[in-house]
Amino acid sequence: MAQPFRLSRGGRIDRTRPVRFTFNGRTVEGVHGDSVASALLANGIHLVGRSFKYHRPRGILSHGSDEPSALLSVDRGPGRIDPNNRASVVEARDGLKTLSQNHWPSLEHDIGAINDLLSPVFVAGFYYKTFMWPKKFWDRVYEPVIRAAAGLGKAPAAPDPDRYANRHAHCEVLVVGAGPAGLAAALAAARTGKRVILADEGPEPGGALLHETSAEIDGRPAAEWLDGALAELDSRENVILLPRTTAFGYYNHNHVALAERITDHLPNPGTAPRERLWQVRAGEVVLATGSHERPLVFSDNDRPGILLAESVRVFLNRYGVAPGRRIVFATSGASAYTAALDAKGAGLAVSLVDLRAEDECGPELVELRAAGIEVLTGHTVIGAKGGKRVTGLVVAPADRAGRCGAHRLLPCDCVGMSGGWTPAVHLFSQSRGKLGYEATIDAFVPGTSAQAERSAGAAKGTYDLAACLAEGDAAGAAASGSAERRRFTASPTLTGFRPVRAMPTDADPAKVRAFVDFQNDVTAKDIGLAVREGFRSIEHVKRYTTTGMATDQGKTSNMNALGIVAGKLDTTLPSVGTTTFRPPYTPVTFGTLVGPARHALFDPIRTTPIHDWAESHGATFENVALWRRAWYFPKAGETLHDAVARECKAVREGVGIFDASTLGKIEVVGPDAAEFMNRLYINPWLKLEVGRCRYGLMLKEDGYILDDGVVARVAPDCFHVTTTTGGAARVLAHMEDYLQTEWPDLRVFLTSTTEQWAVIALQGPKARAVIAPLVGGIDLSPEAFPHMAMRSGTICGVPTRLFRVSFTGELGFEINVPSDHALAVWEAVHAAGEPYGITPYGTETMHVLRAEKGYIIVGQETDGTVTPDDVGLSGMIAKAKKDFVGKRSLVRPDVVAAGRKQLVGLVTDNPKLVLEEGAQIVDDPGQPIPMRMLGHVTSSYWSPNCGRSIAMALVADGRALQGGSLHVTTPEGFARVTVVDPVFFDPKGKRIHA
Partner 1 sequence: MRRFSLSSLLSESLKGHRGWGRQWRDPQPKPAYDVVVVGGGGHGLATAYYLATVHGITNVAVLEKGWIGGGNTGRNTTIIRSNYLYDESAALYEHALKLWEGLSQELNYNVMFSQRGVLMLAHNLHDVQSFKRHIYANRLNGIDNEWLTKEQCREFCPPLDIGESLRYPVLGGALQRRAGTARHDAVAWGYARGADARGVDIIQNCAVTGIRRDASGAATGVETTRGFIRAGRIGVVAAGHTSTVMAMADVRMPLESYPLQALVSEPIKPVFPCVVMSNAVHAYISQSDKGELVIGAGTDQYTSYSQQGGLHITTHTLDAICELFPQFTRMRMLRSWGGIVDVTPDRSPIIGKTPVENLFVNCGWGTGGFKATPGSGHVFAHTLATGTPHPINAPFTLDRFRTGRLIDEAAAAAVAH
Partner 2 sequence: MLLIACPHCGNRPETEFRCGGQAHIARPADPAALSDEQWAEHLFVRANPRGVHAERWCHAHGCGRWFNALRDTVSDRFLETYPAGAQPSHSTDVRA
Q: Which stretch binds partner 2 (CB under 8 A): 235-243, 249-257, 556-564, 773-781?
A: 249-257
Q: Does 879 bind partner 2 (CB under 8 A)?
A: no
Complex with partner 1: residue 519 or 608, whichever CB lies closer: 519
DSSP readout, 158-223? S-----EEEEEEEEEEEEE--SHHHHHHHHHHHTTT--EEEE-SSSSTTGGGGG--S-EETTEEHH
Shortest reach from residue 356's CB to partner 2, in Å: 42
Nearer to partner 2, 450 or 746 (CB): 450
Q: What is the smallest separation between the CB atom of 588 and partner 1, expressed in angstroms?
A: 5
Binding to partner 2, residues 664-703 (CB under 8 A): 701-702
Please report how close the Cβ of residue 702 comes to partner 2 at its closest, in angstroms. Answer: 6
Of the candidates 937, 798, 950, which has an alpha carbon nearest to the alpha carbon of residue 861?
937
Of 903, 901, 923, nearest in space to 976 by CA? 923
Nearer to partner 1, 2 or 155 (CB): 155
Window contacting partner 2 (CB under 8 A); options: 159-167, 506-514, 739-747, 900-908? 739-747
Closest separation between CB of residue 931 and partner 1, Å?
Answer: 4
Q: Does 744 bind partner 2 (CB under 8 A)?
A: yes
Our CB check for partner 1 shows the closer of 620 and 794 to be 620
Give min distance, CB of 162 to partner 1, in A. 8
Answer whether 847's CB lies under 8 Å from 975's CB. Answer: no
Which of 642, 736, 909, 924 touches partner 2 by CB under 8 A? Answer: 736
Distance of closest approach, residue 590 Cβ to partner 1, in angstroms: 5
Separation CA 378–CA 361 (nearest Å): 10
How many other CB atoms are there within 10 angstroms of residue 798's CB atom? 18
Among the listed residues 165, 450, 788, 922, the single contact to partner 2 using CB under 8 A: 450
Three-class DSSP category at 284: strand
**Is residue 834 part of the contact set for partner 2 (CB under 8 A)?**
no
Residue 326 touches partner 2, criterion: CB under 8 A: no
- Report the site for partner 2 in 265-294 (rule: CB under 8 A): 279, 281
Secondary structure of 389-443 as H, E, C letters: CCCEEEEEEECCCCCECCCEEEECCEEEEECCEEECCHHHHHCCCCEEEEHHHCE
Q: Are 154 and 89 in contact (CB under 8 A)?
A: no
Question: Residues 117, 733, 784, 933: which binds partner 2 (CB under 8 A)?
Answer: 733
CA–CA dist 634, 646 (Å, integer): 9
Nearer to partner 1, 281 or 498 (CB): 281
Contact yes or no for 331/341 (Cβ under 8 A):
no
- Least separation in angstroms between residue 735's CB and partner 2 is 11
By CB under 8 A, the residues from 892 to 951 that bind partner 2 are 892-893
DSSP annotation of 581 reads P
Cα torsion 795, 801, 807, 808 to 10°: value is: 20
Q: Does 448 bind partner 2 (CB under 8 A)?
A: no
Q: Which of residues 397-436 bind partner 2 (CB under 8 A)?
A: 432
Nearer to partner 1, 188 or 968 (CB): 968
What angle, 0 to 180 degrees and rounded to 10, lies between the N-to-C axes of helices 538-545 and 558-569? 120
Q: How far is it, in rounded angstroms, from Cα 959 to Cα 642?
A: 33
Q: Which is nearer to partner 2, 508 or 883 (CB)?
A: 883
Using CB under 8 A, which of 883, 897, 947, 971 touches partner 2?
883
Smallest gap from residue 241 Cβ to partner 2 (A): 25
C-alpha distances out from residue 900 to 605, 653, 887, Å: 39, 38, 17
| Cα 669 from Cα 691, distance rounded (Å) | 15
By the rule CB under 8 A, 449 interacts with partner 2: no
Binding residues for partner 2, total number by CB under 8 A: 25
CA torsion, ordered 525, 526, 530, 536, to nearest 10 deg: -80
**889 near partner 2 (CB under 8 A):** yes
- In one letter, which amino acid is 666? I
The edge-to-edge listing of strands for the beta sheet with 97-99 is 26-32, 14-23, 97-99, 71-75, 81-86
Binding partner selected for residue 747 from partner 1, partner 2, none, CB under the kind-specific 5 to 8 Å limit: none
Per CB under 8 A, 508 contacts partner 2: no
Shortest separation between residue 345's beta carbon and partner 2, angstroms: 50
Does position 755 interact with partner 2 (CB under 8 A)? The reply is: no
Residue 918 binds which entry of partner 2, partner 1, none, CB below 5-8 Å type-dependent: partner 1
Per DSSP, the three-state class of 813 is strand
604 binds partner 2 (CB under 8 A): no
- Interstrand relation of 26-32 and 275-287 (parallel, antiparallel or unpaired): unpaired
Alpha carbon of residue 323 to chain centroid: 39
Applying CB under 8 A, the span of 47-55, 204-212, 247-255, 555-563 interacting with partner 2 comes to 247-255
Comparison of 253 and 912: residue with beta carbon closer to partner 2: 253
| DSSP element (H, E) containing 948 | strand 948-956
Please tell me whether residue 452 binds partner 2 under the rule CB under 8 A: no
Spatial contact of 324 and 351, defined as CB atoms under 8 Å apart: no
Q: How many residues are present in the chain?
A: 994
Interface of this chain with partner 2, residues 696 to 725, rule: CB under 8 A: 701-702
Return the number of the residue (865 or 962) whose C-beta is nearest partner 1: 865
Interface with partner 2 by CB under 8 A: which residues?
Answer: 251-255, 279, 281, 432, 450, 701-702, 733, 736-737, 740-742, 744, 882-883, 887-889, 892-893
